[in-house]
Copies of this chain bind each other. A is one copy, B any other.
Amino acid sequence: MVTEQLRHTADDGDVTRADSLAREIFSGVATKWALLIINVLADDTLRFTELRAAVDGISHKMLTQTLRGLERDGLVHRTVYPTVPPRVDYYLTEPGQELRATVNGMCAWTRKHLRAIEAARRRFDGQAP
């Protein structure tokens, strides 16, 4: 897919590099789990287990994996306390906070249009089956 995108934009000039990078970052972040984690973290500092409980429905694996990605991109900060049992804290960095603001917007939007969407679906489903 990255290959494809490079191919597709290859004849567009010199913004190519930045564009494909942007697309990659956007695609990585525009994800159910990533966005939900960011939304839950908000301005708290949470441990792995707390996050797991808060995100609701996420598996151990996906949580670890998504957190690694967010950490790699510098959106969350990860603190490891070498105690036993271990303790790991996560919180949003400044860039993470900024992204969170827009994610909040999406959540607000969802709540606002809940009933309307529900209705739209009934209409859509009702006229075809």
Contacts and interface: CB of A to CB of B under 8 A. Distances in A.
Interface of A: 1, 4-5, 8-9, 18, 21-23, 25-27, 29-32, 35-36, 56-57, 71-74, 95, 98-99, 101-102, 105-107, 109-114, 116-121, 124-125
A116 B102 contact: no
B27 A32 contact: yes
5 contacts: A23-B57, A29-B106, A73-B120, A74-B119, A95-B113
- Tell me the number of copies of this protein: 2
A95 B120 CA distance: 11
A105 B105 contact: yes
Nearest to A102: B105
